[in-house]
Amino acid sequence: MRRYRDLLRRRGMVRWSSVRLVTRVPAAAAPIMFVMLSKTQLGDYRTGAWMAAGCVAAECVAAPPLGARLDRRPMLGEARLALVVTAAALVAVAAGVRWLPTAALVVLAGVAGGAVAGLVGGLRTLLTRMLPEDEVRTGLGWESALTNLVFAASPALVTGLAVGVDGRLPLLLTSAGALASVPFLRGLPGIGDVPASRPDGERGSARALLAAWPIYLTSAVAMYLSATVEVALAPLLERHGLAIGWTGVLLSAFSIAAVAGGLLYGLRAWPGSYRLQSLALLTATAVLVALAAAGARAGLLAVAVPLTAAGAAQAGLVTARNLSLHRALPAHSLSAGNSVMYASGCLGFGSSAAVIALFLSPGGATALVLLSCLLTLGSAWLGAAAERLTGRAPAAVGSATACPRP
């Protein structure tokens, strides 16, 4: 773990890590946060579900244009504005949940999610600029671990605070965290710099973004599979006579393994190009999820072991995917590209959740999970084949410790 100790000693890394944690909480906690708010304050889940849907939809729509703004403007002012707007929207939802109409609450939830959507890609781009090229892989592995840590801890914390104290408290704490992170922004290296000019102009940047479509496809199908796991796991357990109370434990194991997987991936160089690594790890994740679904009839252990391994593989996949984009795009388009990739992941997650909601029944849970795995594999491999046919196959990285910037 010496690589991570050295990483955190770099100027600005502790500040960057703090800001990254805070800005990931709205995305990780928003669905359960709005649902629990609605249940505890209004007595039903429906309004919270609409707010969660509005938040995710706004993230998908807002991420690409806000990310593109960060490629043209100094990030400091944009990040401050995003965090303040998100904090204000969350306070407004908490204060007005009992008297505002549902439409107004959905709009405010969308503002809360959409305002910080560009920071997902922007802060990742800032991280790659803060580090020498031979430490980018370790840095992105660290980011993956932080993100998975937030996604592992947030649902349990939100539920405990909402049920045990007050349903408005998670929103107020998230808002306070966003505001508290604003002073940390100024100390981040390069956050106040004017981005480099675009030598190829807007049209060339758009072409570069479009050419990275196989990476966006990987993001979408990876999140499609992730949503399948989260939404279909309880019906899958029920179908095979296992207690659905194990759902939370298994999902926590999946997330904890993802934290470890992200850290492990960042420790060393791995054979093959980053695109090849992404494809291999996505294939491994899909196969492991399929094994968990097919093995449910054999008992809980047959689900837990492959599902935990799938979490570790998915974390490596996410980091390899991020490195693929870092290698594929010019520096002046990275924030936009990371944001488009984030939006594609949101679309993949949302479409999977919608498909499962429409077609899932306890009796058909195993079949639907297996079909989702096949769809994931088919989409990923067809995308890779199309990439090769169009002559855009990535160059191999091999075991090199650095990937030169284009």
DSSP 3-69: HHHHHHHSTTHHHHHHHHHHHHHHHHHHHHHHHHHHHHHHS-SHHHHHHHHHHHHHHHHHHHHHHHH
Does 401 reside within a domain?
A: no
| Residue 334, pLDDT score | 83
Cα 329 off chain centre by: 20
Domain of 246?
202-389
pLDDT of residue 163: 83
How many distinct structural domains can be found in the chain?
A: 2
- 99-141 confidence digits (pLDDT tens): 999 999 999 999 998 898 888 888 988 998 888 888 888 998 8
- pLDDT on residue 175: 93
Which residues fall within 8 angstroms of residue 337, CB to CB, at 6 or more apart?
67, 121, 208, 209, 212, 325, 328, 329
Residue 61 lies in a domain: yes
Residue 394 lies in a domain: no
180 closest CA partner among 80, 63, 302: 80
Q: What is the CATH number of the domain that holds 145?
A: 1.20.1250.20
One domain, residues 167 and 61: yes
For residue 180, tell me if it sits in a domain. Answer: yes
Residue 405 is assigned to a structural domain of this protein:
no
- Whether 313 and 242 map to the same domain: the answer is yes
What confidence score (pLDDT) does residue 199 get? 57
Distance of CA 202 to the CA centre of its chain: 27
Q: Dihedral of the CA atoms 188, 189, 195, 200 (nearest 10)?
A: -120
For range 65-85, the mean pLDDT = 88
Residues 37 and 109 in one domain: yes
Question: Is 366 or 391 the better-scoring residue by pLDDT?
Answer: 366
pLDDT 10s digits, 262-285: 888 888 888 888 888 989 999 999
Residue 399 lies in a domain: no
* Band of pLDDT at residue 11, cut at 50, 70 and 90: confident
Q: Is the pLDDT of residue 368 over 70?
A: yes
232 in the same domain as 163: no
406 in a domain, yes or no? Answer: no
Domain boundary among 195, 221, 245: 195
Q: Is residue 47 part of a domain?
A: yes
18 and 115 together in one domain: yes
DSSP letter for 394, please. P
Handedness of CA 309, 313, 314, 315 (dihedral sign): positive
- Are residues 379 and 247 part of one domain? yes
Name the domain boundary from 195, 213, 241.
195
Question: Are 323 and 257 found together in one domain?
Answer: yes
Domain shared by 189 and 96, yes or no: yes
Residues 184 and 152 in one domain: yes
Q: 63-67, 207-211, 288-292: which has the minimum mean pLDDT?
A: 207-211
Same domain (yes/no): 160, 250: no
